[in-house]
Chains A and B, each alone.
Chain A
Amino acid sequence: MVPAKTGWIILVVISLVLWVSFSWAGQIKHLVAPDSAADCYACHKKATPIIAENWYESKHGVILVKCFVCHGQPDGQGSVPWAVSPDPRIVCTKCHDPAIKRMKAKFGLAPKCYTCHPFHQNSLHHRAYSKSQSKK
């Protein structure tokens, strides 16, 4: 049997190692492209076509909230820090602050936006501007 104190220390150490490894895994080095570095869509249409298509068909895509508005730019310049998974407090609040405050007031929690709202995809409740994908 492991005494409680040691057990908790082991638990903390393991969690710490795992947390560090996952956060390190999150920071992948993006390639350095010539001056059109913020024209993400042009390249990602070929490189990550599913994400690119999801974005293009989503509300953010239709109203041209381009990639860099949320993700920033690989070299970290610009008004928004570079992030594969952006911080909602920096990014989402620029436009959605009233809705976030309403959510907080109504439900008390401060959930991560992504758990309910698919940021690259069509709105949660029904397809946005479905004409673009319809057969008509």
Chain B
Amino acid sequence: MSMKLTRREVLKSAAAASAFMALNGTLPDLAGAAPGEPDKWVKAVCRFCGTGCGVMIGVKNGKVVTVKGDPNNHNQGFICLKGAELPSIVNATKSRVTRPYIRKNGQLEPASWDEAMDLVVSKFKAAIKEHGPTSVAYYGSGQALTEESYLANKIWKAGLRCNNVEGNPRLCMASAVGGYYTSFGKDEPIGCYDDIDAATCFFIIGANMSECHPILFKRVAARKQADPNVKIIVVDPRKTNTARIADIHVSFKPGTDLAILNAMAYVIIDEELDNPRFYNKYVNFMTNDKKKVDFKAYQKFLQDYTPEKAEKISGVPADTIRKIAKIFAESSATMSLWTMGLNQRIRGVWANNLTTNLHLLTGHLGKPGATNFSLTGQPNACGGVRDTGSLCHLLPAGRMIKKAKDRAALEKQWGLKPGTIAPKPGLHTIALWNAFSEGKIKAMFVLCTNPAQSLPNVNMYTEGMKRKDNFMVLSEPFMDAETVKYCDVLLPAAFWCEKRGVYGCTERRYSLLMQAIDPIGECRPDVDILLDFAKRMGVDPKVIPFKNVDDIWDEWREVSSATPYNFKGMTRARQEKESGIRWPCPTEDHPGTCHRYVRGEDPNIPKDYKNKMWFYGTKDGKARLWMRPYAPAAEEPDAKYPMVLTTGRVIDHWHTGTMTMKSPVLRRSFPNAYVEVNIDDAKKHGIKNGDNVLLETRRDKMIFQAKVSDVCRPGLVFVPWFDKNLIINKLTLNAFDKGSKQPEYKICAVRIKKA
């Protein structure tokens, strides 16, 4: 039967077709493969922040074409806008260093690997011969792979017998390390990201999570959406995007958070919301000069920090302090989250202690959702530098250079002659760069970091880099990094997914980055560069026996097994199958640990231990509540420089921008640094949005375009530090915390003027 169409049916169908087209347009649907679908997906971790999102790299014809979140890692498939732009950054090959360079007559000239490495080694050997092993150094990074940092640490401390091993985590996490160490006897957080899903109160202080830990911010916001009774307190002199989801935003005079935290403790005790059952069992009360006292002494100490007294110091109304203290204590599970606002201070360790104190006082510790959680800035500061002990005073897995017992234990594990490891700690970052700038350090190996932009009071250090009597070799992927201007030898480093190794993120999760593509040009993974260096330096091959990156991981696993870090269960095979495991993880069938120090969860604690919690890092198994006073910042505002300058990050850019500026969208989303000025301050100075403003500190001055808003409180200006054409670190100061040696990037005195 043939179907005959009437004219009307034709018209009707045409109308229907056009209506259908109009409704749906040309929106493609999810059936069928997307254009440019990858041949394979390679599992890795994002190159950027300490959240450590798992990513799946889509590779087609040997090229990275796309990226998506790893559904099996903690981020459950989500990534932020920087992670989403990784393909265009990986493919920015024209900006890469693709061969070694040697500086001759002020210019970087191409060289072969042999030429470059021979020169490097000759400089190091000469320095050690003439001035001893303390005249050389290694300055690494919280963005280097774990195996790279572990290897460098061993080469220098065991091979060259030099303890001048440092890294940029000294600039970002040292105070958190000091805080955890003084409060609990051991570094690294107790809880994990799972606590976000269980907390009923979030205390976010000194952290702009929405821009610096976006996927964790999303998790916090989702928690609040799931349960609107969850309370979020944001304590920050800037009203950032993070404050959008806060129930209360507390703005305070920069540096006075110490007073606020002590005042909160006062209120908690005054309102009888403290938890004697917890602290009588688990907490020692310690004075600032390390004397053990009792709770009564602590109460007396807090008399100086009534809410009214704290109001005078901080500008926060006493009622607000009372309110947030009560919310903190009354909630069933409170989670504190903090980053650089507390760490990058000369009182960074104290700020960390005082935040932890609130948890020790209320018992918000060890139960799901209740934890004091330091957010790590860099993707591998924890796993790579803190845990491997790649700092001047540390040894792997929390051991300390100054303790003879620790040195002996490591020497035994490493098969070294007793006494190989030098007993005196090396120079911390600021001291190291001071010494380099004075010509006392003769040869420095800089890896995966950009100190010519990231050091505080940086003019001092770039001047030092220009000296003729010191030598700096730099391993760096990008040609336009600021430090390239000053290095003597430039080595082409393989970038991110061109190599294989481990990143350990904020929540003690170690995840393997699998290699997705081959290194371009003559680039080599840093592990290979360091192995080559060790060989040429004549380091005993028994000390550095590794053939590849997997060998290094296996040794590190083994070394950890004698310590509470014990992650012997994280074999390479297991890492390839799974998407990250949290340490401790002693055996291959152990799932990893969510909460440390808790019986039943922490494998270091016997299952029949007498108490629920055991802070095994301290001699008596108890945590310590430190009575830290309020003390002002290193450079408070005064008549000459009446405002406070603070620096920080924005979501669009990572650190010094060497990577994110390669993405055309991220570059244009935020092309230049600007100065954020409060509306009232702007009016006072006659500054309109977009005007040029001159910022002046005691160290340098610089002109920025103004962004007038209500983000900064009056008296405060903010400048992001990603812009290599406007290096704000020329204006910051290098005063540092006496305990952690971390510089105070967050506060210095400035004056502004319409330019």
Contacts and interface: CB of A to CB of B under 8 A. Distances in A.
Do A and B interact directly, with beta carbons closer than 8 Å?
Answer: yes
Given A87-B35, A94-B69, A98-B77, A4 B665 contact: no
A87 B244 CA distance: 30
Given A2-B7, A77-B665, A90 B225 contact: no
A64 B80 contact: yes
B73 to A, nearest CB: 11
B668 A79 contact: no
A26 to B, nearest CB: 6
Contact of A7 (B9, B24, B71): B9
Contact of B17 (A15, A93, A95): A15
Contacts of A87: 28, 34-35
A120 interface: no
B225, B669, B671 interface centre (most CB from chain A within 10 Å): B669
B26 A22 contact: yes
Contacts of B27: 85, 112, 114
B3 interface: yes
Interface in A58-105: 59, 62-66, 68-69, 72-73, 75, 77-80, 85, 87-90, 93-100, 104
Nearest to B91: A79
Contacts of A85: 25-27
B88 A113 contact: no
Contact of B664 (A11, A73, A93): A73
A1 B10 CA distance: 11
B14 A15 contact: yes
A59, A66, A113 interface centre (most CB from chain B within 10 Å): A66
Contact of B211 (A8, A64, A80): A64
A2 B8 CA distance: 10
A74 to B, nearest CB: 10
A128 B217 CA distance: 14
B666 A38 contact: yes
Given A15-B14, A131-B245, A80 B29 contact: no
A8 B5 CA distance: 8
B4 interface: yes
B493 to A, nearest CB: 22
A64 B25 contact: no
Contact of B69 (A10, A23, A64, A95): A95
Interface in B66-82: 66-69, 71, 76-81
Interface in B235-285: 241, 244-245, 247
A120 to B, nearest CB: 15
A114 to B, nearest CB: 7
B665 A38 contact: yes
Nearest to A18: B18
A18, A23, A72, A113 interface centre (most CB from chain B within 10 Å): A18
Contact of B669 (A1, A18, A38, A114): A38
B71 A64 contact: no
Contacts of B140: none
A77 B81 contact: no
A48 interface: no
Interface in A34-53: 35-39
Contacts of A39: 668-670
A112 B30 contact: yes
Interface string A117-136: 00000010010110110000
18 contacts: A2-B6, A7-B4, A7-B5, A15-B14, A15-B21, A26-B26, A37-B668, A62-B244, A63-B214, A66-B81, A79-B67, A79-B663, A87-B28, A87-B35, A95-B69, A99-B77, A126-B225, A132-B244
Given A79-B88, A99-B77, 20 more contacts: A10-B14, A35-B671, A59-B221, A64-B210, A68-B81, A68-B669, A69-B81, A73-B665, A75-B664, A79-B66, A79-B87, A80-B665, A89-B34, A90-B66, A94-B68, A96-B77, A97-B68, A110-B29, A126-B225, A129-B245
